[in-house]
Amino acid sequence: MPVITAARATLVDIPVESVRTDAIQAFLKQETIVVDLTTDDGTPGRGYAYTIGTGGRAVLAMLREHLLPAIIGEDIRRPERVWRHTLSQTRATSIGAITSLALAAIDTAVWDARCRHAGEPLWRLAGGAEPEVRLYDTEGGWLHIDTDTLVQNVMAARAGGWHGSKIKVGSASARRDEERLHAVRDAVGPDYPIMVDANQSLSLADARALARVLEPIGITWLEEPLPSDDVTAHARLTESTGIPIAVGESLYSVGQFAEYLTRGAATIVQPDVARVGGITPWLKIAHLAETLNTPVCPHFLMELHVSLVAAVPNGRIVEFIPQLRAITRTDLPVTGGRVVAPEEPGIGIDWDEDAMDDLRVA
């Protein structure tokens, strides 16, 4: 029985690969919380979670002081058992971002070890629905980018075979957002998918007004239009527009996704494996969405999400935002806007140990 005999957590700060801004924040750095497991049969496991600039040391402290000691002796073949046992140590602090990030780093490490022990890649052991995954581009659509450059970026993405581009909205001037979107649609034509992301910056009235502007432009989805805890407003918005409403990057539990879905407040879900507490709850969210005929289009973490979208039948597309290249040896092999999920046993990330040592801060 391969049980955990040692566990450690470290913090690695990765500089952002490009300037990234939206309506409410900027991506300052990726605080990468890494958990390494050792088992009695020698099987390693590595998992990680992240922040975009703050809170990483709080996650690290929770892991070191509370959670890692609790998983010694646990069987890596039983991720459900390990996840529930770990959650039971955090009743006073869950559900919440710091706890979910800590749980995710452990859970992903357990899955990595489980897959390595079984000699299988994550995408197959987690479900094995379809190995090839489509990608869309976000890097060319950040809010600070001027309109001419934005159009050039989206045109380049279309020419490169990408299956869509995301454009950030929520400018001080709603007219600027409208002009940018019209310029992009006019340039790429009617068929290229355009996703729009407001990053929780709008009121219900503003979101309805934006939806009226977006409808004739032809939008694949409107993402995070409203504060994530306002499920009622999302439901009202969904009822008032034919544009698909996407939520998930700011939700931290299976129950929160269940409320959105059962109340008709979202038509696309975007779970982030780090923010929902790991692979184990991510799969629950995906299967819940499947029962309600809802697609999964996860947020960020493409290096993990390619395998998870490949695992489930309602996985639709993955967001291309590369952010691990500073601490990995190989890139995802993207061809024509598609990628085949990694076949190596484990979660499929080729870590560069020397680079991680250089960027380790705790």
Backbone phi, psi, residue 120, to 5°: -125, 150
Co-location of 113 and 131 in the same domain: no
What's the pLDDT at 174? 87
Note whether residue 190 is domain-resident. Answer: yes
Note whether residue 23 is domain-resident. Answer: yes
Co-location of 192 and 79 in the same domain: no
Co-location of 43 and 96 in the same domain: yes
Confidence of residue 94 (pLDDT cuts 50, 70, 90): confident
Co-location of 163 and 68 in the same domain: no
Average pLDDT over residues 39-64: 97
Q: Provide the residue range defining the domain that includes 29.
A: 4-120+353-359
Residues marked as catalytic: 168, 299
Co-location of 138 and 255 in the same domain: yes
Is residue 62 over pLDDT 90? yes
Say which CATH number the domain at 83 has.
3.30.390.10
Is residue 73 over pLDDT 90? yes
Note whether residue 186 is domain-resident. Answer: yes
| Opening angle at CA 290, ends 200 and 202, nearest 5 | 10
What's the pLDDT at 33? 98
**pLDDT tens track for 195-204:** 999 999 999 9
Separation CA 170–CA 189 (nearest Å): 23
**Domain count within the chain:** 2
Nearby residues of 101 by Cβ (< 8 Å), 6 or more positions away: 33, 49, 50, 51, 55, 59, 274, 275
Co-location of 90 and 190 in the same domain: no
Q: Which of 33-37, 89-93, 350-354 has the lowest mean pLDDT?
A: 89-93
Note whether residue 348 is domain-resident. Answer: no
Co-location of 185 and 199 in the same domain: yes
Co-location of 146 and 194 in the same domain: yes
Note whether residue 243 is domain-resident. Answer: yes
Is residue 95 over pLDDT 90? no
Give percent of the chain with pLDDT exceeding 90: 96
Average pLDDT over residues 101-120: 98
Co-location of 19 and 75 in the same domain: yes
Q: Please return the burial class of 150, using the count of CB atoms within 10 Å of its CB with bins 0-12, 13-18 and 19+.
A: buried
Note whether residue 299 is domain-resident. Answer: yes
Note whether residue 152 is domain-resident. Answer: yes
Co-location of 12 and 53 in the same domain: yes
Enumerate the β-bridge partners of residue 223: 197, 246
Backbone phi, psi, residue 29, to 5°: -170, 165
Per the prediction, the chain carries an average pLDDT of 96
What's the pLDDT at 91? 85
What's the pLDDT at 1? 79
Co-location of 194 and 235 in the same domain: yes
Co-location of 204 and 315 in the same domain: yes
Note whether residue 347 is domain-resident. Answer: no
What's the pLDDT at 39? 97
